[in-house]
Amino acid sequence: MAVVWTPLESNPTVINPMIEKMGVSGVKTVDVLFFEDDSIGQPQHAVILCFPEYKKVDEIMKPIYEQAKAADDSVFFMKQKISNACGTFALFHSLANLEDRINLGDGAFAKWLAEAKKVGVDERSDLLANNAELTAIHAAAATAGQTDPSGEVEHHFICYVGKNGILYEIDSRLQFAREIGPTSEATLVKDAGAACQHLIQKLDNCKRESFPTRFQMAPKGKGGWQALESNPETINPFLKKIGVSGLECVDVYSFDEEMLQFIPTPQLAMILCFPSSEAREFLSKQYEEVEKNGKKPEGVFFMNQSEDIGNACGTFALFHSLGNLENRVNLGKGKFAKWFAKAKLVKEDERSDLLSEDTDLAEAHDETAGEGDTEQTDNVDYHFITYVNKDGQLYEIDSCAPFPRPLGSTSDASMIKDASVAIKELMNNVVNLNFSAMALIGK
């Protein structure tokens, strides 16, 4: 009988505890916003890549592997015989090929690897399937994610790992590890991006939207706040610090309809990150059309972002969400509620200055910003906006736009799906598809 595991969610908050439980140390996972991101720390050891439409990927990669150079026996490899375990195989392939650079310890993984190296590549999967301790660790991790496990899995995980200065692509469903070329601990992520670019370009609009990410919510600018990382593990504690309750942040992994069904309800808002310079021209035309038709909304909390607070677009997106959910969530009596009460009394173009002068919020913000995984950076060409459900209407709110943009009716069950219509239209008008999102869910 075939062995079937529960799919593993590609999320550092799931993977890192799993690594620790297996007894491995000296390495951690962080999400990648884009392959050219200079803020990613070093040394860079491996990239685990998740992509959709694995059957289409098979067609794309078949001729490449027919001409590929196979890695020698020094590269650890095993063929996958466990269904839905590709994420774990990608992780194990990475760790096994890093044994001389990280501490594998003497726990469950190290013990299994010692035995796995004694058998052939066809036997290693069975050895894993019969390992009760690793099976239990995987099962616990697979149920610790934010998305419900699905019976039908269309995505697939592979890894790119550096070993002895060479980059290898390792896909557990194929016959061997593929040698890519030279790499280093400073350039591995960029090198992996170059290696898989041909694949991403052929996957239509699914190119990047299925890849979970972490990203900085605002680069630090002159007079600005520190960058706040758009990570539920960072944002949820920040909400508590500013006195807000009744909602939580979760990652949005894909805008594909079959994946959206796994997002919990009620869906209140969604914060979107996208490449700014490419999208700006398209969005400007959308707002011009709204103004021409006289459809500018009233009764929606909005504030224009001033230069005094730097490029804090991510924080503005979060606060725009909260400001328009005051009747749906508990804003409490803390830092945000006190600022918000004053903000409603002043004009839209005065609210940004009111925020930059609020020392209580700034203190909570800076404290939270220091807890993120990614390094601060000053030169980032991406922007954050929010989509929020206010009184059954969906609005796109961009702190750099002149006003909120109405997008039609919505509901707590369909808000993310409804917003994805506008997002996909935007994606169809740009080349760089490094889009990422996080939803605000009522509880």
CATH of the domain at 170: 3.40.532.10
Q: CB–CB of 29/14 below 8 Å?
A: no
Our answer to whether residue 45 is catalytic in this structure is no
Our answer to whether residue 273 is catalytic in this structure is no
Prediction pTM value: 0.56
Our answer to whether residue 383 is catalytic in this structure is yes
Rounded CA-CA distance 213/215 in Å is 6
Task: Please identify which of the residues 45, 155, 365, 383 carries the catalytic annotation.
Answer: 383
Claim to verify: residue 120 and residue 51 sit in the same structural domain:
yes
Rounded CA-CA distance 11/213 in Å is 8
Last residue of a domain, one of 206, 238, 257: 206
At 209, is the pLDDT very low, low, confident or very high (cuts 50, 70, 90)?
A: very low
Claim to verify: residue 185 and residue 280 sit in the same structural domain:
no
Task: Give the pLDDT score at 401.
Answer: 87
Domain count, the chain: 2
Mean per-residue pLDDT, 228-237: 81
For residues 389 and 295, which has the higher predicted lDDT (pLDDT)?
A: 389
Claim to verify: residue 173 and residue 227 sit in the same structural domain:
no
At 150, is the pLDDT very low, low, confident or very high (cuts 50, 70, 90)?
A: low
Q: Which neighbouring-strand residues pair with 426? A: none
Task: Please identify which of the residues 45, 138, 156, 365 carries the catalytic annotation.
Answer: 156
Cis peptide before 52 (omega within 30 of 0): no
For residues 310 and 140, which has the higher predicted lDDT (pLDDT)?
A: 140
Q: What is the extent of the structural domain holding 333? A: 215-442
Q: Which helix or strand (DSSP H or E) is residue 132 part of?
A: helix 132-142
Our answer to whether residue 86 is catalytic in this structure is yes
Phi, psi for residue 162 in degrees, rounded to 5 = -95, 130
Claim to verify: residue 221 and residue 198 sit in the same structural domain:
no
Claim to verify: residue 240 and residue 341 sit in the same structural domain:
yes
Q: CB–CB of 405/420 below 8 Å?
A: no
Task: Please identify which of the residues 93, 313, 320, 365 carries the catalytic annotation.
Answer: 313
* Amino acid of residue 217: M
Claim to verify: residue 388 and residue 280 sit in the same structural domain:
yes
Claim to verify: residue 141 and residue 220 sit in the same structural domain:
no
Last residue of a domain, one of 153, 173, 206: 206
Q: Residue 221: pLDDT above 60? A: no
Q: Residue 289: pLDDT above 90? A: no
Claim to verify: residue 164 and residue 100 sit in the same structural domain:
yes
Phi, psi for residue 285 in degrees, rounded to 5 = -65, -35
Rounded CA-CA distance 354/349 in Å is 10
* Amino acid of residue 342: K
